[in-house]
Amino acid sequence: MITPNPIIGTGYHAIGGISASTCYLPFQKIKKWSWGTYWLVQAFFAWIVLPLVIGWLTVPGFFHILATAPKDVVWGAFLLGAVYGFGGMSFGFAIRHIGYSLTYTFAIGLSAILGTFVPLIVYGGLVEYFTAPGGMVILLGILIALLGVGLSGLAGFRKEKDLRAQTGEKVQFNMKVGLVLVLIAGVLSAVFNISLEHGQPISDMARANGAGQFEGNAKYIVSTSGTFLVNLVWFVVLGIRQKTLKEFSLKSGISTGNWMKNFFWSALSGALWFGQFFFYGLGHVKMGKFQFISWVLHMSMLIFFSYIVGMIMKEWRNVSGKTFRTLIVALVILIISFIVITYGSSFQ
């Protein structure tokens, strides 16, 4: 039996947030590869290779569990994972219309809300959890977290505005199209958590077979394989149309050394993406009966550390004092939300 420990659980979620907020940094090292080529390699490692390898290493009888799991659970989690695959693509298109910060904040904020509350509504427990001891404290923590996410988005929007004013760059801004895309991205991102919740019986089988705190590793491959299939079809078709599939071979004119470096950085990006959910799973089981808050905690950590990474990389050094103060206030509020949520989770 796993002993609940919300403090350790929050720590695991923090590590997952760091992994998530840095997973696209390796792309900066990619040379002479298109985005689609990089994306397919990192997706293959994030959604196929690592879920299989880590599942096999940490879950006793991993493949037997997958083979004997209820078919409705497997197919349900797979199809929900496939739906999430469209969310990532919508996210990328939204950035072109309303910028990185607004897209990131709206999509993650919406995902945090829906990914937390929809599973409780669908699978039950909404009233039960929030009326339990500590439940209202957790609800307060969730509301504080959403406030912090919103202020982070405001700081990001002001940052982009400041930098545009300094460079004189004219950027096309289409709020109507962008909001439609970010709405799709946010909703479908939340579907991934619903997919994981739907696959919980697979984790239950893993726990019964001695997986312990690694029980979550049994279900990831079911959800992520659906996600990968959608992205594979999309980017292969796109690669054919744009004639970029040749980049997978040395016939594109790229040197062997450069190709191997690109492959390494893409694989590392995929490893970091999967790392967020490896630690998400460890943190999830440590939250005890309040496991449902793992998603909003994870999303908030992702926002928090993405802005911390931006500060470390000096992306905020040329912004106005007002913009920087907004960011600091937002980060402090997010820290407060983590403390409140962890405290509420201790009532069990």
As to burial, measured by CB atoms within 10 angstroms (0-12 exposed, 13-18 middle, 19+ buried), residue 240 is: exposed
Quote the pLDDT of residue 317. 80
Q: How far apart are CA 208 and CA 192, in angstroms?
A: 24
**pTM of the full predicted structure?**
0.83
Helix axes 175-198, 200-208, angle to 10 degrees: 30
Whose CA is closest to 274, among 81, 51, 121?
Answer: 51
User: Could you give the 3-state DSSP secondary structure of residue 169?
Assistant: coil
Q: Please, what's the b/e burial string for 161-187 (b: 16 or more CB within 10 A of its CB; e: otherwise)?
A: bbbeeeeeeeeeeeeeebbebbebbbb
Quote the pLDDT of residue 101. 62
Work out whether the CA dihedral 333, 339, 343, 346 comes out positive or negative.
positive
Quote the pLDDT of residue 327. 87
Matching residue, tokens 């945090």:
112
Mean pLDDT by 10 residues, the chain (348 residues): 82 91 85 89 95 96 96 96 85 69 73 78 74 85 87 81 70 66 83 90 95 93 95 92 88 86 95 92 86 85 83 80 90 90 81
Quote the pLDDT of residue 240. 93
Q: How far apart are CA 280 and CA 302, in angstroms?
A: 11
Quote the pLDDT of residue 170. 54
Quote the pLDDT of residue 214. 94
